[in-house]
A and B are shown apart, each in its own frame.
Chain A
């Protein structure tokens, strides 16, 4: 098990290295190069040369990449053009908040989706299955901004239970302190995920119910309910683990809409503002973080696999 994790972690490092190369290449694909991007269309050729020399952009590409890596390791991702602050500082401030939003909404989604999927599978073909399936598709097809809008209208305006704006604290502690403000963004984000996860859960449970080990468990005298909990659940969670890992980076960027909607001070909002202001260092910094999230997501999948499925543990 440990050997498997170490191996998997080393593989993740290799992929992260590749991610850094891609981000580096993106940096150099900016229209007119970074100098033009910063100095704007009015920058004179002299200014551009000077800028390139200062930043080392006139050196060879491998040297530049090496310098870029060195800066990366020291946490230097450049400075924001607009916010007058190092990108690293901005990310350090915003990332935990987005993580909080993502983790809370994913956890909520899993907690709702797993029993929901089980229920649907057990009631397959009955009215409740069709109703829940219909609702799931409706939620799945609804754009997040529209869902958020409905939530705001319903729960902040018609029935003013929760505030329409997310808490604006500096630290996680402050955010959690103002919990009611978190409810609407978290629930909005979770709803879209629930729809997808419960569909997967339903079909995974249905697949497993036809497996012969379920018949064996019945032949032992287990009740249907306990067969679901003791035998089927763990096996059915295996495909869900794949989905979770693959979905993590999407969730991360999905936070973008929710954050800008509820004015939640996370990375999504940062990215949104940076994109509108052509703040390239910030955009690239966020891209790097999303890249890392993707790699970590698939690492998470593998860890979950190994926890859930003993067959994978022994292959490694």
Chain B
């Protein structure tokens, strides 16, 4: 441990383990070359954790991949050096690289579902690096050490798992296997490329904790690449913010979050729903899109989107320079113990300017300004009056049969929705939150009429939908519309936008041709797209623009209710903010009601009036958003709130958080009684025998289904 503690900057600065110097990477495809990295320089001392953060396409993953020479086809290092342990990996031969890969540098990738070989056993895959890099190690010994490694990454029953294949494990367990594979040779450096992005909140937390612990035990350095500011805030010592193939800002983590200097970093923070002053506030957005990088932009790359840009910014490129403020004591070598030390040092960090803080901006955020909050526009404060009940679900059940084919017997049922009752009022946003597999999407599909419930009723505007005739049902469809996570996949790629938007009108027989055209033009105006978009195809639009199209398509028939299923989950923070603002604005203008489904607690908190929390097919808690977030009554809700990565290094270290443990059980065999009991710290015998009744111990309207609801109101969470 001792050698991991403090490493002094200054004359005694340890030699960097990894030193990336002026790295240039081009990605050539058939018709164009993208200058993915354009002069990236980063240093990493032994044992240090560096976070690389940025939006998609900024070059963070390319930086990580180029260290191991794993660039995608067409990718080449066109300039610069990557010094690792005295070797220039950028110029290294294939055998030299192979010797480093998996041996002194381990790598973990994003998607544990696809990054393991489906036809090889776990044991063979974990033992593989040992057999490659440890000369003379026998198969038997390699397997023994692989099993030991699996135990170390918290795999239950490692001996049996060795013989399993990847598909037999859950996503979280597979990522543990991937980590075991990367660490089995005890590397000096671990590169983790979005290691938790494909995972649920609770699994994400467990994996990040695991990486933290292993890093300390094995004393390795780490590069953590992520788009998630919450992840980066709590897990690294130093952060590099990348934009358009360059490092825009680099600092120790607390310094960056407390005092961002680059205008891009500032804007990125401001776009976070967590940073919005209150519900109902407009989120700060960054207009426009990042440059395409097929031609090198002149001047500052952020200038076209920056509200502080001047002529100088557009003509000259700012260099990454050390912050000129009087620096007190250099401390960027702080290593390893950052999360623990963060609590005590948080105040100090705010008081004294962080050192080793570099940024490339001509007009940085001045010192002394309160960051972030200032950028947020004041709330328009239009508390919508709660209207009459529009949608009412009563004991809704949906089960899917489990069978192996036409000749196979039915082997059971998956209980996707296990008796959910709720009501949504006209004009409000009902936020449904839960982890994957909790049934929130199925619930949304039932509400939209895409699935028939197995039992229970859906009442819309006072009418029971099961009683509708075929024609009535068709007519009713227009009143509830869906918005999807992936709008590209939800639109016919061979139809032009105009046709896509007109199609619902044609199906429902609304208006004449001219009227339909007028209506689609108005819709495009409303969602902020040019009218000329009607002649283009969906693939010609960016992710954010497609979500605008998705919203326009949902609104074509002027529905009362829009079911939005993870509409912003695939978007970058700045674009997410645009879409959330747009949804809010249209809600005000058109009196829309939203059923907003998401796994993201911060997004739900920002947008929703009422919140429902689902776990394994059950609604465990529901109520007004502020109340649910401030005084969660169900242990699951509280666990979720404690698990979330808050994008603030100072807040995260605040003691008594109790993150959720374990994994969600299978919906094919849900636990008896309370479905959460297997992971609940308060579970007693009654929880296994009796389904918990719904009660309102806190306030009317704040419902909880728990035998032992949390009594003591706790301090408002930082989310």
CB neighbours (8 Å) of B100 from chain A are: 221
Q: Is the CB of B118 within 8 A of A309?
A: yes
Question: Given that A215-B70, A215-B109, A311-B165 are known contacts, is A222 also in contact with B118, CB under 8 Å in the complex?
Answer: no
A120 and B99 CA atoms in complex are apart in Å by 27
**Closest A residue by C-beta to B165:** A310
Q: Is A308 an interface residue (CB 8 A)?
A: yes
The answer to whether the Cβ of B119 comes within 8 Å of any Cβ in the partner chain is yes
User: Which of B99, B120, B178, B404 has a CB less than 8 Å from the CB of A316?
Assistant: B404
With A222-B128, A311-B165, A314-B167 given, is the CB distance from A216 to B116 under 8 Å? yes
Which of B115, B118, B178 is close to A311, meaning CB atoms less than 8 Å apart? Answer: B118
C-alpha gap A216/B101 in the complex (Å): 10
In the complex, are the beta carbons of A221 and B102 less than 8 A apart?
Answer: yes
A198 to B712, CA, bound (A): 69
Interface residues in B, total, Cβ within 8 A: 35
Residue from B102, B117, B404 in contact with A219 in the complex, judged by beta carbons closer than 8 Å: B102
In this assembly, does A17 line the interface, its C-beta being within 8 Å of a C-beta of chain B? no
B570 close to A (CB within 8 Å): no
Report Cα–Cα, A11/B404, bound state, in Å: 13
A223 at interface by CB-CB < 8 Å: yes
- Chain A contact residue count (CB 8 A cutoff): 25
A288-316 contact mask (Cβ, 8 Å, vs B): 1 or 0 = 00000000000000000000111100111
A221-B119 contact given A314-B167, A316-B404, CB 8 Å threshold: no
Contact of B98 among A7, A222, A314, A316 (CB under 8 A): A222
Instruction: Specify which chain A residues have a CB less than 8 angstroms from the CB of B68 in the assembled complex.
Output: 218-219
Contacts of A315 in B (CB 8 A): 404
Q: Give Cα A7 to B407, complex, Å.
A: 9
- Cβ contact within 8 Å between B117 and A213: yes
Q: Which residues from B are CB-within-8-Å of A235?
A: 117-119
* Chain B residues positioned under 8 Å from A215 (CB to CB): 70, 109, 115
Asked whether, in the complex, the Cβ of B119 is within 8 Å of the Cβ of A220, the reply is no
B129 interfacial by beta-carbon distance below 8 Å: yes
Flag whether B168 is at the interface (Cβ < 8 A).
Answer: yes
Cβ-defined contact, B407 with A11, below 8 A: yes
The yes or no answer to B395 lying at the interface (CB within 8 A) is no
Output the least CB separation between A227 and chain B (Å). 10
- Taking a contact as CB atoms under 8 Å apart, the answer to whether A212 and B98 are in contact is no
Task: Say yes or no: B98 contacts A219, CB within 8 Å.
Answer: no
A234 at the interface (CB under 8 A from B): yes
- CB of A231 within 8 Å of the partner chain: yes
Contact of B716 with A by CB under 8 A:
no
In the assembly, what is the distance between CA of A218 and CA of B97, in Å? 10
Chain B neighbourhood of A311, CB < 8 A? 118, 165, 167
| Min CB gap A121→B, angstroms | 13
With a CB–CB cut-off of 8 A, which chain A residues contact B101? 218-221
Q: How far is the CA of A115 from the CA of B481 in the complex (A)?
A: 53
Cβ–Cβ contact B167 & A234, under 8 A: no
Contact A216 B181 (CB under 8 A): yes
Residue of A at shortest CB range from B124?
Answer: A230
Interface membership of chain A positions 84-113, coded 1 if the CB is closer than 8 angstroms to chain B and 0 otherwise:
000000000000000000000000000000
Task: Give complex CA distance A121, B94 in Å.
Answer: 20
Sampled A-B contacts (14; CB under 8 Å): A11-B407, A213-B118, A215-B70, A216-B116, A216-B117, A218-B101, A220-B129, A220-B181, A221-B99, A221-B101, A222-B128, A309-B119, A311-B165, A315-B404
Pick the 10 closest A-B CB pairs, nearest first.
A220-B102, A221-B101, A221-B102, A310-B165, A219-B107, A213-B117, A212-B114, A212-B115, A221-B98, A220-B129
Known: A213-B115, A216-B117, A216-B181. 7 other contacts (CB 8 A): A212-B114, A215-B109, A219-B182, A221-B103, A224-B94, A231-B117, A308-B119
Which B residues lie at the A interface, using CB under 8 A? 68, 70, 94-95, 97-103, 106-107, 109, 111, 114-120, 128-129, 132-133, 165, 167-168, 178, 181-182, 404, 407-408
